[in-house]
Structures are given as structure tokens and as C-alpha cells.
Amino acid sequence: MRRFDTKYVVPESWLPELAEAMSGHAHVLSVSGVEQCRYDNLYYELPGDQFLQDHLRGKARRMKIRKRRYASNGLVFLEVKERMPGGRTAKERIATGDDIHQPLSAADHAFLGRKLRGEEHIEPRLSGGFYRTTFVDFNRSERVTVDRSLNAQVLGEADAPLLEGLAVIEVKQPKPDRYSPIQIWLRSNSRRKGVIGRKTKVSKYTIARLARDGNIAGRAYLATYRRLMDAQSWAGDLQA
């Protein structure tokens, strides 16, 4: 799973127009007749929050480790997602037990040991989920995922909504292409404001950690986080 990812944040109220812009170019992924699928994640960390700190510092090469459960079919995968210099993303995964919260197995540790030093020290840190709709453009070998109704919790604390009123769009391409229909639609939208509708760096894991732990220094990521909070306030005003 190697690709280039481009991310955007838009108000959920824009989604019907987005779907219309994609019609004629892409198909909506359906699993057992369901087009809006629930995804649940469990993120792992090393001591000292190394993965999070790499994101906050804007390190060119960084990774995330998570379990992901697909509610549409009950499958659970252990995934290693790496961001490479130059913007390419590589993801590797293996199927694991059907309970996202069960301890890592010997096979899980063996898989992680091929990707990470000190894998024996990783531990679950944050859980969360969202609902995803996926558009597939076969001609461009492009997928567009739209994630909404996000929630997250640091383990042991209360669950809460995340980026209320906003949807996270991710354009996944085999090579960068600024002229896909979704990106043309976004650039031509006269209602773009701040981070809304513009290419941005947004990690659901990083935003959730910043939102749930006020003691984390955002550093390079803090400006993005503040812009997202402004966007959330604006999206709320739109839907009021």
C-alpha cells in the first residue's frame, strides 16, 4: 500500500456538493450494501511518545502503529503506516484477532519487529473512530476518503467528539495529481476560508492527542491545530 496522500478539511455541510462533484468520475465503495462504514482505531506508542513527537516536530520520516477494526465485516488489522521523505506513504498490515483491545500476539510482535526497534515496549495510548465514505476513480487509480463524526479518547479517560462539524478528506494517489475532480472542485470553491478547503497537514491521531492532553507542546504542529480549532468554530456557526 504505497501512495501519495493529500488532506483537506471541510464543513460536513459541504458533503452533498462534494458527492455531486465526484459523480460521473468515481464510484462509491459499498460493503454489504453499506456506503458509510464505521472504523475503530487503537493507536500504540513508544515510551516518551516518540511517534507523536516525530509528528509534532514535522520529521520527514515518521510512523504510526495502530489496530483498525472495520465494522462492516468485523475484520481487525495491525497496521504500520510510514510517511517517507518526499511525501510518499507506505502502509503494511496483517490480520489479527477480532478484538481490537486484546494484547498483541507473538505474530503481531514478530511483524512489528521487522519495522521497528524496541517494539516490545510499545503500548496502547489512544482509541477513537469515525465514519468513512470512500470514492474510487478507476481511471485515475485514485481513492478519496471522507471521514466524519470523529471521536477519540486517551485510554483511561472519557471519550469525546473531535473536530465537530468538520469532515477530513484524504485524496490517495499513485503519484501526485492536482487535477483530479475533487481537487479542482476544492480549489474552485469560493467559500474556502483559512484551512477550510485547502491542502493541509492533518493527522487524526496528533489532533486527538493535542485536544485531549493540554500539556503537550504542539511546536511545529501547533499553528495547524489552532487553524483547525478556528475551522471547527466556523463550521459550527454554519450549522447553527
Domain with residue 222: its CATH number is 2.40.320.10
Q: Long-range contacts: 88-96, Cβ < 8 Å, 24+?
A: 88/2, 88/3, 88/4, 89/2, 89/3, 89/4, 89/5, 90/1, 90/2, 91/1, 91/2, 92/1, 93/1, 93/68, 96/67
Q: How confident is the model at residue 86 (pLDDT cuts 50, 70, 90)?
A: confident
Summarize the confidence of residues 173-186 as an average pLDDT: 92
The domain of 62 spans: 2-239
Percent of the chain with pLDDT over 70: 94
Looking at residues 37-45, what average pLDDT do you find? 96
Domains contained in the chain, number: 1
pTM to 2 decimals? 0.90
Note the pLDDT of residue 240. Answer: 44
> What confidence tens digit (pLDDT) does each residue in 98-132 have?
899 999 999 999 999 998 988 889 999 999 999 99
Q: Could you give the C-alpha distances from 5 to 134, 142, 169, 205, in angstroms and in order?
A: 14, 10, 10, 16
